[in-house]
Structure 1
């Protein structure tokens, strides 16, 4: 079995995706970044691919191209968007768009890489969901599609385990990224309020998530599949003040 690792990381131009890509590059992986934006950073083993993952055809074309040129060993589907709205303002388009981005794009990428993974009897698939999969106000489309990742990953884990492929989910809590600050502006007192509500007392950092992804991505993690790891400082548990 080849020890060469080639990882597709979606949304690697910034935030959590960048942290994941940098961790993989530091571990010696070649990284293919799939994103609507070119990264503003470079690395000798980083290959940026511009693609709009909201577009099913563009996603399929990019997935086929990458799988034809590389022996893809790892897929980390990190790209995501929130579209926060109360129930009254949520539209069917919100559900459809986030379903394509969070679920459809993941399926397309895995389908393209799966024959090679099966042939080499090795693969690591990590889906980046969210603590919001457990429910969060104003997150109808986001929570629905992120929770869908959990069922999808468990199903894929059952279908691929005999082929040396593992499928797991990392579900971050609040992490300070540009997307986070689109919802809570930087410097807002809500940031400190949110930090105080998290049991460990702080907002997450992109590297917190990257370390969890690297754990699931290891070749030694071959007895761990179909699992969801909440990287949330205890926010998925909650606390009761007495």
Structure 2
């Protein structure tokens, strides 16, 4: 596969970082974006607050003005948990903004270059919660919207040789997951009760699927929501 430049949002840790490490090990050039830069990222890294629409636009202009972008992993996210009776409306709109607006803004920035090249890969990060998981209204709604965007963009961009797919992980061993679901907590127990493999996944397992969809030989896969959830989607609803 030719060497590719892959833009990854939320790349400093977790799934985004695992994808960057895997891409770099395969000879590609990951371009990371997150609020705080890690000390040893395996490629170019841009510190940016993606909640700032103007700063995001400036950042993307700088990245695209370089050597272009061949692929995108829309991984940055924001989530808050609460029952429908106590959903904070600010959280609702912030979750939508970070999961949808950022993805749209990133794709719009890189799209001219991909169209000119006649090829491209876009992978959006969704979640098992779209299948129906309690206390996830803002996050599940935003990720369901991102899955809809995935299908729409796949149809719109297919004629340009650009594929668009989504990866939907179940619970993954990340700092964010542990912040909400400490080891041995009731919340984790409830989560694992719907996972047939009865364990939390690893960032590397999610990154494996992401990188598969970025591969040159994945050119006949588009508009798909591919799940890496230990079987959780079988019984999540």
C-alpha distance in structure 1 between counterparts of 2:33 and 2:41, whole Å: 14
Aligned match for 1:119, one of 116, 119, 126: 116
Partner of 2:126: 129
Quick one: structure 1 residues 193 and 40, their matched pair in 2 at CA, closer, same or farther if it must change by over 3 Å? farther
Quick one: structure 1 residues 224 and 179, their matched pair in 2 at CA, closer, same or farther if it must change by over 3 Å? same
Q: Deviations over 1:184-222 (max 9, x none)?
A: 123536546643541112111101100110111011111
C-alpha distance in structure 2 between counterparts of 1:202 and 1:154, whole Å: 30
Partner of 1:14: 13
C-alpha distance in structure 2 between counterparts of 1:132 and 1:192, whole Å: 16
C-alpha distance in structure 1 between counterparts of 2:160 and 2:13, whole Å: 32
Say whether the 8 Å CA contact 1:5–1:74 is kept in structure 2: yes
Say whether the 8 Å CA contact 2:7–2:31 is kept in structure 1: yes
Quick one: structure 1 residues 141 and 190, their matched pair in 2 at CA, closer, same or farther if it must change by over 3 Å? closer
Aligned match for 2:177, one of 145, 155, 180: 180
SS in structure 1 at match of 2:201: coil
Report the more deviating stretch, 225-234 or 189-198: 189-198
Say whether the 8 Å CA contact 2:120–2:161 is kept in structure 1: yes
2:46 paired with 1:49: yes
Aligned match for 1:63, one of 37, 60, 64: 60
CA RMSD of aligned residues (A): 1.7
Note the residue ranges of structure 2 that are not aligned, 5 or more in a row: none
CA drift at 1:70: 2.5
Say whether the 8 Å CA contact 2:77–2:99 is kept in structure 1: yes
Note the residue ranges of structure 1 that are not aligned, 5 or more in a row: none
2:151 paired with 1:154: yes
C-alpha distance in structure 2 between counterparts of 1:129 and 1:178, whole Å: 17
Say whether the 8 Å CA contact 1:33–1:48 is kept in structure 2: yes
Partner of 1:210: 207
SS in structure 2 at match of 1:220: helix
TM-score by length of structure 1 reads 0.92
Say whether the 8 Å CA contact 1:56–1:100 is kept in structure 2: no
C-alpha distance in structure 1 between counterparts of 2:232 and 2:166, whole Å: 17
Partner of 2:25: 26
Quick one: structure 1 residues 188 and 95, their matched pair in 2 at CA, closer, same or farther if it must change by over 3 Å? closer
SS in structure 1 at match of 2:217: coil
Report the more deviating stretch, 57-66 or 208-217: 57-66
User: Structure 1 residue runs of 4+, over 6 Å off?
Assistant: none
Say whether the 8 Å CA contact 2:8–2:30 is kept in structure 1: yes
Say whether the 8 Å CA contact 1:10–1:35 is kept in structure 2: yes
CA drift at 1:55: 1.5
Q: Deviations over 1:74-124 (max 9, x none)?
A: 100111122111112212211211111111111111111101101111100
C-alpha distance in structure 1 between counterparts of 2:75 and 2:151, whole Å: 17
TM-score by length of structure 2 reads 0.94
